[in-house]
Amino acid sequence: MPNDPLLFRPYTLRGVTLKNRIVVSPMGTYSSEDGRLTPFQFAHYERMAMGGAGLVLMEQTFVTRAGRVSNGDPGLWADSHIEPMARLVSEMKRYGARTGIQISHGGRKGGQQRAYEGNGPITERDLAAGNERLYPMGASALPLSEGWLTPIEMNEAQIEGIVEAFVAGARRALLAGFDLLELHLAHGYLLQSFLSPLANKRTDRWGGSLENRMRLPLTVVGRLREIMPESMPLLARLSVTDWIEGGWTEDDSVILAGRLKQAGMDLIDCSSGGNMRAGATNSNLARGPGYQVALSDRLRREAGIATAAVGMIRTPQYAEEILQAGKADLVCIGRQMLFNPFWAHHAAWQMGVERDFRSWPEPYGWWLDKWVRALAANGEDPLGPERFPEPA
């Protein structure tokens, strides 16, 4: 490993500089109430910010009440959502983290249970427990899978209304003080479903040809850039491929990425799948460490746009290899951060970037410094593997 690892060098997008290239991926907590943040989410995100990452992306947040995937999803459809988000953003920035929020509409994936309650369609039992019935809508009247609700095929007025909802939601995110926005173009949610032939069978200007299927996402991007400050970055999470024959392909994504860059997109967070299964990504896909890194590499090389790699990137050494090979500009860490929210601080120790605790929250750093000194006095290695556990 180099003495000056790329992982801990600052990275700038427009007017926003990240202190390092570690990103906390947006991960659903399903813990909101009527779209509003709850104490759990404050604790969750503040801890992620304490952990040392350069950027913390808030989970998928919905621009309409009806467009939520589950009743536990956070929202940006009402002005009442702004104040708690502003408080959270302020707290996260105290720890030196830059903040972003992923804005979305659930599309035909709407009307689901919270993931940890089954991740299937909302049942009568869920309704009796106080959950609201959510009616999905999409590019075409095609259910996600057998047994799922059939979405309403959106008409012209509804499509235009969704564009305006994204704009209104983005304005609220700006008022809350987020440093950047990420547009959800992945995993079979509304905007990605318009891209994919698996979900979009329309014959009007919103479907058919690749140009028509790209129209809605590109329209939203154009409108967002009109209201966003020039200095504010815009990112997208993109399913680079559906992994299914007849669906969205890597070749399609190269073309789309070029168009997104022209429209003012700054970086693409490269994911995949999710268009024909109940989960966010395809559960039948064989996965291993870095299984999506090649997608980031290709878009970066062929579309000339900055990218973030995501997917089972567990160790700082592997994250550094990805950056050193030029396969991504940033590295997104997801479930590994749930297991170890201080992953970034630990990575800095393991890679020799830090030998003290000055970058940690001061109430922690003071005690940890004493702890390390005590270990050294006893002849113990403070960098031993038992100090930095990794899940199997």
Rounded CA separation 177/87 (Å): 9
Query: pLDDT tens digit string along 206-253?
Result: 999 999 999 999 999 999 999 999 999 999 999 999 999 999 999 999
Q: Are 217 and 191 in contact (CB under 8 A)?
A: yes
Per the document, the length of the chain is: 392
Q: Are 136 and 110 in contact (CB under 8 A)?
A: yes
Long-range contacts of 258-261 (CB under 8 A, 24+ apart): 258/303, 258/304, 258/305, 259/214, 259/218, 260/217, 260/218, 260/221, 260/236, 260/305, 261/303, 261/304, 261/305
Rounded CA separation 23/97 (Å): 10
Amino acid at 265: M
pLDDT at residue 280, rounded to an integer: 45
pTM of the complete model: 0.94
pLDDT at residue 277, rounded to an integer: 60
Residues of the chain with pLDDT under 50: 278-280, 283
* 24: β partners: 56, 333
pLDDT at residue 242, rounded to an integer: 96
pLDDT at residue 390, rounded to an integer: 64
pLDDT at residue 3, rounded to an integer: 73
pLDDT at residue 381, rounded to an integer: 79
Listed in order, strand segments (DSSP E) in the chain are 11-13, 16-18, 22-24, 55-62, 98-104, 137-138, 152-153, 180-185, 234-239, 267-271, 306-310, 330-333
pLDDT at residue 170, rounded to an integer: 98
pLDDT at residue 288, rounded to an integer: 86
Q: What angle do CA 219, 184, 42 make, to 5 degrees?
A: 130
pLDDT at residue 385, rounded to an integer: 65
Question: Closest Cα partner for 25 from 342, 307, 336?
Answer: 336
pLDDT at residue 278, rounded to an integer: 41
Q: Tell me the three state secondary structure of residue 177.
A: coil
pLDDT at residue 182, rounded to an integer: 98
Q: Give the count of beta carbons closer than 10 Å to the beta carbon of residue 122.
A: 21
Q: What's the mean per-residue pLDDT of the chain?
A: 93
- Region of residue 383 (phi > 0: left; psi between -120 and 50: alpha; otherwise: beta): alpha
